[in-house]
Amino acid sequence: MKKIALFAITAFTAVSISAEAQKSNKKSMKKVLFVVTSNDKLGNTGEKTGFWSEEFAAPYYELLDQGVEITIASPLGGQPPIDPKSADPASATEDTKRFDADKVLQEKLKNTLKLSTVNQKDYDAVFYPGGHGPLWDLVQDRNSIALIESFYTHNKPVAFVCHAPAVLKNVKVNGEYLVKGKKITGFTNDEEEAVGLTKVVPFLLEDALASNGGIFSKGPNWQPYAVEDGLLITGQNPASSKLVADKLLKKLN
C-alpha cells in the first residue's frame, strides 16, 4: 500500500510540475501582432492590390519557427486581400510555397481580428508587412496610428517592411513625428519608378518619411537592406523581409 501511495504522490507531483511548466512556457512565449491591409484597390487603375505575400510569409515563419505566437489583425477584420502579383508562381520562394500550402494559416487569415479591437498590452511587438494596399488605408487609419504610438511609448518594438513604413507618415509621439531624427528605410523612389507606379501611389514613401524628419537610407534596388534605430525596425523591399524578422527576434530575446 505504501508503494502504491508513494507512486500516486510521485505521479501527481510530476503532473503538477508539468502543468506549471506549461503555464510558465505560455507566459514566457513572445507574442507579436501582425497588421495587414484591408484595401484591395490600386488607386484608380482598376487593378487589385493588397499585402505582399513574401513580406508576410517570410517574417511569419521566421518568428513562428522560433516559438513566437502570432495574431493577425486588419482594419476591417476577416480575410485581407493578397496582391495577386505577389502570388505569381514566378515570384515564389520557399516561404510563399509554405504559405500557400499552410491550411492552418489560411484559416487564420480568413478570421483576422478587427484592428479596433486589439490592444498593445496583449503583445510584445507589432509587425507590418507591405504591399501597396496599406498606402490607401493603414496610412490614414486612426486605430493603426494610435496602436503604433502605444507600442512605441510602452517600449515595445515596431517593425515594418517595404511599403509598410509608409504607415508611419502620420504617427506622432509627444507632438513630433515618430520618424523624426531616426534612421529609417522603405521602398525607394527608384524601386517605385521601376515598377511603374510613381504616378499611381498617393505619395512616395521615401519623400514622405524624409520630409517628416526621417534619416532615410537605402541599399541597391531589390537587395536585402534593413535598419534599426532603438525600437524602430524597417526594411527596404520584399527581399528584406527576413532581415527585419531577424532584427525583431533579437529585440524580443
pLDDT per position as a tens digit, 185-209: 999 999 999 999 999 999 999 999 9
- The yes-or-no verdict on residue 95 having pLDDT over 70 is yes
Spatial distance between the Cα atoms of 122 and 247, rounded to a whole number of angstroms: 21
Position 7 pLDDT exceeds 70? no
Percent of the chain at pLDDT exceeding 90 = 87
Q: How many CB atoms lie under 10 A from the CB of residue 177?
A: 18
The domain defined by 28-252 folds into Rossmann fold (3.40.50)
Q: Tell me what pLDDT residue 244 has.
A: 98
pTM value is 0.90
- Cell readout for 221 is 534596388
Where in the chain are the domains? 28-252
Instruction: Compute φ and ψ for 209, nearest 5 degrees.
Output: -70, -35
Torsion of CA 181, 157, 49, 214, to 10 degrees: 0
Q: How far apart are CA 170 and CA 157, in angstroms?
A: 18
* pLDDT the model gives residue 27: 54
Q: Alpha-carbon distance 235 to 242, whole Å?
A: 9
pLDDT at 91: 83
Average pLDDT over the chain, rounded to whole?
92
Q: Quick check: 32 and 248 in contact, CB under 8 A?
A: yes
Average pLDDT of 149-174? 98
- In angstroms, the Cα distances linking 222 to 102, 164, 188, 218 are 27, 16, 10, 10
